[in-house]
Amino acid sequence: MGTGKLSVNEIKIKNRQMIYQHIRSHGPVSKQDIVVALQLSLPTVTQNLEYLKEQGLIDDSQRIKNTGGRNATAYTYIKSFKKAIGVYISAHHMNVVALDLSGSVLGRMRKRVRFDLEDDGYLRDMGEEVKKIKKETGIKDEDLLGVGISVPGLVSKDGSYVTYGLTLGFTGKTRDEIAKYIPYKSRLFHDSYAAGHIVAWHNNKVRNAFYISLSNSIGGAIIMGNEICGGDDCKSGELGHMTVIPEGGERCYCGKYGCLDTVCKTEKLDGYTGGNLEEFFRRLKEGDDIAVKLWDEYLDNLSLAIHNMRIIFDVDIILGGYLGMYLGDYMDDLRERVDAKNPFGDKAEDYLYVSEYEGEECSAGAAIFFVEEFMDGI
């Protein structure tokens, strides 16, 4: 029976990862800062710093100013050492982003294109956009960690195929089929899972939250202890199929009636403008009567979903998806509607906000997996 003790080599790897992550989270830091913070010996820290520098992972060209004595060497991690690319395909759009090791967006592309995995031209176009953003951001083959592909459906745990893709009728599609023209390491991700993951990863203050993705379909992700709570079968957070209109509701793509997806998908808005969400909000700002009425109904339904999630989980609510980039001017109105439903006096201004990624959570979240995988292997 095993003792559960780590081997000498495992301890070395763990110490190296701890030191690298400390530099990443707190840099620039001195050698002594690391010794004190991690309670490691000076020789251990020195040896690992030398290794990380030799590998090109950290930089020691800066100095930390001291009030007395010599200025200490400052260690920082090199964000540009490796990069990853994320793709998000939805009903009417294709998003591609490139990230560095900090999760910062180096380049982005968004285009209107109809989702059609049976069209070889669509698949070829996806591959070309990946190659294009790779070239534009100067990513070398040896520096590309991988390409994550975020899709509006549930995927297998190993990211190799779609287990539930009724949203756009692509259940059973494989990574190899979808990434046919992407000549790099790739993996599929559920869009809401990917989006929630990047929100938690990028913001250390997000310990417990519920992320709501507002795009061509509605999804969500539960964040607990800064980690995604996927559920037993990776189906948690699917608030798009929460029944909000039990009598007389529209039929959802899942076959049921009155789901939140039927009243809060962006099609309820951009259906008025031929699938162009930007045009819808332009008309809304101009006071177009139909746009104003559609938006009023939309906010009422959205505020109900937010209220329900807040009551159930008692955590921050983060809004994202394509709609996220347009919500800024309307958050006060939305918060007032949410507050009117809350019996406990909570103020939505304290817990309801929009993701910092402004509509690119799904693509960025698919890319960040490869960044995490790389860091875990240091």
Specify whether 210 is located in the same domain as 338.
Answer: yes
CA 159 to chain centre: 16
Query: Do 66 and 132 reside in the same domain of the chain?
Result: no
The tens digit of pLDDT for each residue in 113-125 reads: 999 999 999 999 9
Same domain? 96 vs 32: no
Residue 239: give the domain boundaries: 204-354
112-127: burial string, b at 16+ Cβ within 10 Å, e else: ebebebeeeebbeebb
- Model confidence at 146, pLDDT cuts 50, 70, 90, reads very high
Q: Do 87 and 61 reside in the same domain of the chain?
A: no
- Note whether residue 229 is domain-resident: yes
Pair (209, 338) in one structural domain: yes
Instruction: Report yes or no on 1 lying in a domain.
Output: no
Across residues 62-91, what is the average pLDDT?
88
**Across 307-335, average pLDDT:** 95
- The answer to whether residue 151 sits within a structural domain is yes
Q: How far apart are CA 96 and CA 137, in angstroms?
A: 12
**Does residue 152 share a domain with residue 49?**
no
Whether 58 maps to a domain, the answer reads yes
C-alpha span between 326 and 70 (Å, rounded): 51
Report d(CA 104, CA 97) in Å as an integer.
Answer: 10
Do residues 188 and 251 share a domain?
A: no
Higher-confidence residue of 182 and 7: namely: 182
pLDDT number for residue 3: 52
Closest CA to 89 of 6, 177, 158, 26: 177
**Whole-number pLDDT of residue 234:** 73
Is the distance from CB of 157 to CB of 232 less than 8 angstroms?
A: no
User: How far, rounded to the nearest angstrom, does the alpha carbon of residue 127 sit from its chain's CA centroid?
Assistant: 21
With respect to residue 53, please indicate whether it lies within any of the assigned structural domains: yes
263 vs 201: which has the higher pLDDT: 263
Whether residue 136 is found in the same domain as residue 38: no
**DSSP 3-state of 33:** helix
Residues 117 and 90 in one domain: yes
CATH, residue 368: 3.30.420.40
Q: What share of the chain is helix, strand, coil (3-state, %, to 5)?
A: 45, 20, 35
* First-last CA distance in the chain: 29
Phi, psi of 258 (to 5 degrees): 80, 20
Residue 39 domain-assigned?
yes
Check which CATH number belongs to the domain holding 52 and give it.
1.10.10.10
Q: Is the pLDDT of residue 253 over 80?
A: yes
Residue 2 has pLDDT above 70, yes or no: no
State the pTM of this model.
Answer: 0.85
Average pLDDT over the chain reads 93
Average pLDDT over residues 367-376: 93
- What integer pLDDT is reported at residue 338 of this predicted model? 98
Confirm whether 3 is domain-assigned. no
pLDDT of res. 233: 76
Is there a single domain that holds both residue 249 and residue 117? no
* Number of domains observed in the structure of the chain: 3
Q: Is residue 2 part of a domain?
A: no
Calpha distance 309→315 (Å, rounded): 8
pLDDT above 90 covers a percentage of the chain that reads 78
174 and 244 both lie in a single domain: no
For the residues 88-105, what does the mean pLDDT come to? 94
What digits encode the pLDDT tens for the residues 202-241? 776 678 999 999 998 899 999 998 888 878 877 788 999 9
- Looking at the fold, whether 334 and 273 belong to one and the same domain comes out as yes
Q: Which residues contact 16 (CB under 8 A, 6 or more apart)?
A: 48, 51, 52, 378
